Structure 1
Amino acid sequence: MTVPKALRLDDRSIISVAGEDRLSFLQGLVSNDVRQVTDGGAIYAALLTPQGKYLFDFFIVGAGDALWLDCEAARAEALARRLGIYRLRARVTITPMADAISVVAGFGTGAAAAVGLAGADPGTAAALSSGFAFLDPRLPAAGIRCLLPSTDVPTFLAGHGFGQASRDDFDRHRLSLGLPDGSRDLIVERSLLLECGFDELNGVNWNKGCYVGQEVTARSKHRGLIRKRLVPARITGPLPAPGTPIRQAERTVGEIRSGVDGLALALLQLDALALAQDGGPDSELWAGESRVRADVPTWVHLVADRPQHPGLSR
């Protein structure tokens, strides 16, 4: 019998945004509609530069009279400082919660059922004896995330029937789905959200109104300006280091991002990706001495992202 797996994500941390203006404050900053967050609900969102380039991504969760941001631990202080720049007269407090609250990820068959969320919509939450759990708002297959007091994690894992996962187990799971992992896969002040799947992963709301970087993001979508996409890839040979250029024939067409074992994420030019999918002479992709084969999941919509002309249709 297969049991779901879970692990504490030690590289994640929580920032609390509290105060009566918390919803309007974040609503004017981030890429998703914060009004969708109810107590215990969750959305996925990003904070951008005014030029529409990636700075931070995170989950936003309703937690009583506060909003909790599930973010990268190594960059939590930087995110709190950036939010503080925008605070001005907003009646909010921005508090990194350090090690008090832990983020636990659960995945595999039965993960949602283990916390009472079987069949629920992405982002739906359920209260636990302490803390709460929610379905990953990006993809149903991604699994669950739980935010709970750090001291309660061992009891939670044992009491809900989860097997212990390793970090490699978790990375294999997310890489197979094509899910980026913060600044491991998105380049700060360089990456565009639509290159990295934020539209399909429910990280952008097109009807919410203005936020930082909104104009550039909207223009990229409506004018078809995206020329690259971040996609899962299978590697034959040694796993290339992040940042290794990807070649097709004699030209550089992308680069490797994070990976484990024979799986990685790769940022690829769309014309090179189309050629690789079609096959034929000079279509193979290489990173160093290793063969790279794009394994595009069904949720990635490539056709709408690139100009429609001969040689670029899927």
Structure 2
Amino acid sequence: MTDPFTAVPGAVVDDGRLVHLGAPTTEQRSLAQGTAVAPLGDRSVLAVTGEDRLSWLDSLSSQALTALAAGESTELLILDPRGHVEHAASVVDDGETTWLIADAPDAAGLLAWLTRMRFRLRVAPRDASDEVAVIGGTAAAVARAVPDALAVWVDPWPQVGAGGWGYAPAEPHPGAERDWSEAIVPRAVLQRLADAAIAGEIALAGTLAADALRVAAWRPRAVTEGGERTLPHEADWLRTAVHLNKGCYRGQETVAKVHNLGHPPRRLVALQLDGSDAMLPERGAAVRRDGDAIGEVTSVAHHYEEGPIALAFVKRSVPLDAALTVDTPDGVIAAAQETIVPPDAGATAAVPRLPRLSRRR
């Protein structure tokens, strides 16, 4: 089937994703200002129905979901027995169906695991990606573009949720003014949006623009910052995806021990990259101190205000003021680190803070 966005002037479409429309940095500004929306072809949607759906998901995940109200947004993590992040999903319930928005590469594995864990409960998880799509943008922009959405997930990041904990010492948090929602819509809406964009009635942005805004807000994502090595603490994910006071779930013991008694072995940092030579690293590129590899890049973007930026995991022992470099295909570039998770992160060393409503410059 032909992707409807291929006919939009300037559109670059790759494997069902509208990557950009020729001006990714301009698209970022439009997304942030609420004058454009982004079709998120890199997302998949799982639908969970049945009377036991919320208590069932509560028992399996890091998040307290039993009392989730219709229309309320949160997110969950599925951890392995050692507390590492296996899957992540954005969560919104409409009163009859719990919708899980997941990174496309992660959705099949998440569904397979959920299906194995049904037992005799009244739950029915399924992949709804052939029926629905996801549209992202500010809350107001999404409401204007798709007023007939089936459900809308409002990103809670970086607010510290009930039972959560924030490690990032920055105040205000760089994501404090993040206004991001993702609407679940029937797939027929994509053609309507494409037609409106061709007619000049609506502005669109690509996934490159959406991801750049995420990186600038230090927002972790399963397909980049998640994985079999990642503890939620390392990415400051306890802030929005973990309830520290809920009942038992797989991986909970590690979450509690690391938070209360220890420190995560790695920590996520934000990198301001030297943009003088227009060289950007690739995901997985080595981060070095004095030539020795001490971490790796997880996400890279060229932000419309901050220029080239990245997120990276580094060893906890790396000093906060250490001079770092990053490998690129064309050579090594300098990188200045900003602390997301401090080396002494833990219950006795970090105090949860609600971000102020102002933006880092």
* TM-score normalized with structure 2 length: 0.71
Partner of 2:140: 113
The CA deviation at 1:308 is 9.2
> What is the match of residue 22 of structure 2?
none
Give distance in 2, aligned partners of 1:80 and 1:306.
Answer: 32
1:38-53 equivalences in 2 (<5 Å): 38-53=69-84
Q: CA deviation at 1:225?
A: 2.0
Deviations along 1:259-308, one digit per CA (max 9) or x if unpaired, are 1332211112233241x2xxxxxx31012211122234xxx452750699
Paired position in structure 2 for 1:247: 288
How big is the shift at 1:104? 1.2
Specify which of 244, 261, 268 is matched with residue 206 of structure 1: 244
Distance across 1 between alignment mates of 2:348 and 2:52? 45
Provide the C-alpha distance between the structure 1 equivalents of 2:266 and 2:75, rounded to a whole number of angstroms: 22
For residue 243 of structure 1, give the secondary structure of its aligned residue in structure 2: coil
> What SS does the corresponding residue of 1:291 show, helix, strand or coil?
strand
Higher relative contact order (CA 8 A, sep 6+): 2
Correspondence 1:256 to 2:297: yes
Q: Work out the CA distance in 2 between the residues paired with 1:156 and 1:41.
A: 26
On the 8 A contact 1:100/1:150 being kept in 2, the answer is yes
Question: Hey, what's the Cα distance between the residues in 2 that align with 1:51 and 1:38?
Answer: 30
Q: Which of 134, 138, 141 matches 2:157?
A: 138
TM-superposed deviation, 1:52: 0.6
Is this contact kept in 1: 2:260–2:347, CA < 8 A?
A: no
**Are 1:101 and 2:147 matched, yes or no?**
no
Tell me the distance in 2 between the aligned counterparts of 1:133 and 1:15. Answer: 14
C-alpha contact 2:324 2:335 (8 A) present in aligned 1: yes
CA distance in 1: counterparts of 2:224 and 2:259, whole angstroms: 24
Residues 114 and 98 (structure 1), Cα distance of their counterparts in 2 relative to 1, 3 Å cut: closer
**Deviations 1:172-211, CA, capped at 9 Å, x for gaps:** 1111111122222222x211011011112x1111111111
- Alpha-carbon distance in 1 for matches of 2:288, 2:124: 48
Whole-Å Cα distance in 2 between the matches of residues 14 and 259 of structure 1? 25
- Verify the 8 A CA contact 1:198 1:204 in the aligned structure 2: yes
Distance, in Å, in 1 between the alignment partners of 2:219 and 2:233 is 13
Cα contact 1:44–1:138 (8 A) shared by 2:
no
Aligned match of 1:32:
63
Residues 168 and 93 from structure 1, CA distance in 2 versus in 1: closer, same or farther, beyond 3 angstroms?
same
Q: Contact 1:53/1:192 (CA < 8 Å) preserved in 2?
A: yes
* Residue 45 of structure 1, CA deviation: 1.1
Checking the alignment, whether the CA contact within 8 Å between 2:37 and 2:142 is kept in structure 1 is no
1:152 is aligned to: 189
Question: What is the rounded CA distance, in whole Å, between the counterparts of 1:145 and 1:12 in structure 2?
Answer: 10
Gaps of 5+ in 1: 118-126, 277-282, 310-314
Change in Cα spacing, 1:86 to 1:143, as seen in structure 2 (3 Å) is same
Deviations 1:115-141 (A, max 9, x none): 569xxxxxxxxx942423232122351
Does the CA contact (< 8 Å) of 2:79 and 2:87 recur in 1? yes
Q: Tell me what 1:173 maps to.
A: 213
Extract unaligned runs of 5+ from structure 2: 1-29, 159-176, 303-307, 350-361
Range 231-240 or range 92-101, more displaced: 231-240
Task: Give the alignment's TM-score, normalised by structure 1.
Answer: 0.81
SS of residue in 2 equivalent to 1:163: coil
Q: Note the alpha carbon deviations across 1:235-262, whole angstroms, 9 max, x for none.
A: 2252222222211124322111121332
Amino acid at match of 1:269: K
Residue pair 2:34, 2:141 contacting (<8 A) in 1 also: no
Q: Secondary structure at the match of 1:267?
A: strand
Q: In structure 2, how many angstroms separate the alpha carbons of the residues matched to 1:154 and 1:36?
A: 36
Q: Which residue of structure 2 lines up, in the alignment, with residue 279 of structure 1?
A: none
Matched, 1:197 2:203: no
Q: Deviations over 1:202-242 (max 9, x none)?
A: 11111111111111111110013213222321222522222
In 2, Cα distance between the equivalents of 1:68 and 1:132? Answer: 8
- Which residue identity is paired with 2:283? P
Identity across matched positions, percent:
26
Q: Hey, what does 1:226 align to over in structure 2?
A: 264
Distance 1:129 1:82 in 2: 31
Rounded to whole Å, the distance in 2 between the matches of 1:36 and 1:291 is 47
Q: RMSD over aligned Cα, in angstroms?
A: 2.7
